Amino acid sequence: MSRRVAATEAGGVTPRSTLGPADRDEILQGLRQHPKTLSPKFFYDERGSQLFEEITELPEYYLTRTELSIMRENIDEIVSLVGPQASLVEFGSGSSMKTRILLDHLDRLAAYVPVDISRDHLKASAEALAADFPHIEVLPLAVDFTRPFDLPQPRVMPLRNVVYFPGSTIGNFMPSAAQALLEVMYEEAKEDGALLIGVDLKKDPPVLERAYNDSTGVTAEFNLNMLRRLNNELGADFDLGRFRHRAVYRESQGRIEMHLVSASAQTVTVAGEQFEFAEGESIRTECSHKYTLEEFAAMAERAGFAVTRVWMDRERLFSVQYCLRR
Ligand code: AVJ
């Protein structure tokens, strides 16, 4: 029976094999490590992307709705700071509502450049945006945005570049990698450029832990789906029933860590390689770093940006920050 058919029966979504040889090597490398780790980028097969959409609507997961309300309430000021005829360079595929709010309001945008490594997802969301915003030149770029890249040349010369990075995805990067990513954003912002970024803020740990351990178990399914994907695409034999979702806030590192905990001692084969799991041993699947305003401002400063405007909700749960190249 082909994997395609099996997957349909299992999850109702027909996953396409999207993991390349480099991904397989990275996954095996992560499972050989102690503690075992898997990159959160591997969450997002079709089922994973759908589950994440569901997460953004959960009462406990305040991030997406809070960022959206901050954008809506402050869009006029954001538009005046960005100015006319800018080029909006989004690190990510731009499938979110937040991007549409910007494309709806920014003044005579010269171009919109979504940058994402997953070519298919990028192409689909860029085509949808180009159809909905025919007056904006949409120039998708399928590259790895953690390394410097050449920007496409729009028909209309932009007066400046504004890099956009919503959703607090900056939190997924370890502090040194987050620093390095801000330095790439500094390069791509170019002269007179700026950065508009969503940053989730440090807060009461129970509030954070609830956001990653929702009562309906959607986040648990999102986390476990990583194993389903390895079964589907790398011929692994994970028994999802023998792993448990766990998300904890590590105060000293200022981050939520998501883990898949082995419920018993077991052996799992992935791409023909065997991995032993002790009872209680886990795979860390995601880190979500949270920042204070001071901590993020210091990191932005080290990358060459000056934070010039911060918008927050009344409860100071989440921030959208505007940073100018110094
Ligand atoms: C999309 C990376 C911002 O870390 O909050 C949601 C992903 N993980 N629930 C986050 C996620 C668990 C999310 N980011």
Q: What is the pLDDT of residues 209-223, one digit of tens each?
A: 999 999 999 999 999
Atom of ligand 1 nearest to the CA of 168: 3
Q: How confident is the model at residue 17 (pLDDT cuts 50, 70, 90)?
A: low
DSSP state of 216: T
**Residues 1-6, mean pLDDT to the nearest whole number:** 40
Per-residue pLDDT tens digits for 299-309: 999 999 999 99
**Cα(258) to centroid(ligand 1), Å:** 10
Per-residue pLDDT tens digits for 176-225: 999 999 999 999 999 999 999 999 999 999 999 999 999 999 999 999 99
**Cα(131) to centroid(ligand 1), Å:** 28
Identify which of 49, 203, 286 to mutate to test ligand 1's pocket (most ligand atoms within 8 A of the CB).
286
pLDDT computed for residue 85 by the predictor: 97
**Cα(52) to centroid(ligand 1), Å:** 8
**Cα(265) to centroid(ligand 1), Å:** 29
- Measured by CA distance, the residue closest to atom 12 of ligand 1 is 212
pLDDT computed for residue 14 by the predictor: 44
**Residues 161-168, mean pLDDT to the nearest whole number:** 97
Atom of ligand 1 nearest to the CA of 172: 2
Is the pLDDT at 7 greater than 60, yes or no? Answer: no
- Global confidence as pTM: 0.92
Task: Please work out whether the CB of residue 114 comes within 6 Å of at least one atom of ligand 1.
Answer: no
**Cα(187) to centroid(ligand 1), Å:** 26
- Measured by CA distance, the residue closest to atom 4 of ligand 1 is 288
Per-residue pLDDT tens digits for 140-158: 999 999 999 999 999 999 9
Is the pLDDT at 164 greater than 80, yes or no? Answer: yes
Task: Please work out whether the CB of residue 92 comes within 6 Å of at least one atom of ligand 1.
Answer: no
**Residues 113-127, mean pLDDT to the nearest whole number:** 90
Task: Please work out whether the CB of residue 286 comes within 6 Å of at least one atom of ligand 1.
Answer: yes
**Cα(169) to centroid(ligand 1), Å:** 7
Residue 196: exposure state from Cβ atoms within 10 A (0-12, 13-18, ≥19)? buried
Instruction: Tell me how far apart the alpha carbons of residues 245 and 95 are, in angstroms, rounded to a whole number.
Output: 27
Instruction: Tell me how far apart the alpha carbons of residues 260 and 223 are, in angstroms, rounded to a whole number.
Output: 7
**Cα(19) to centroid(ligand 1), Å:** 20
**Residues 285-310, mean pLDDT to the nearest whole number:** 98
Q: How confident is the model at residue 2 (pLDDT cuts 50, 70, 90)?
A: very low
Identify which of 56, 208, 260, 288 to mutate to test ligand 1's pocket (most ligand atoms within 8 A of the CB).
288
Average model confidence (pLDDT) for the chain? 93
Task: Please work out whether the CB of residue 43 comes within 6 Å of at least one atom of ligand 1.
Answer: no
Beta strands in the chain (DSSP E): 36-37, 86-91, 111-115, 160-165, 194-200, 243-250, 255-262, 266-270, 273-277, 282-289, 305-312, 318-325
Per-residue pLDDT tens digits for 58-92: 999 999 999 999 999 999 999 999 999 999 999 98
Atom of ligand 1 nearest to the CA of 288: 4
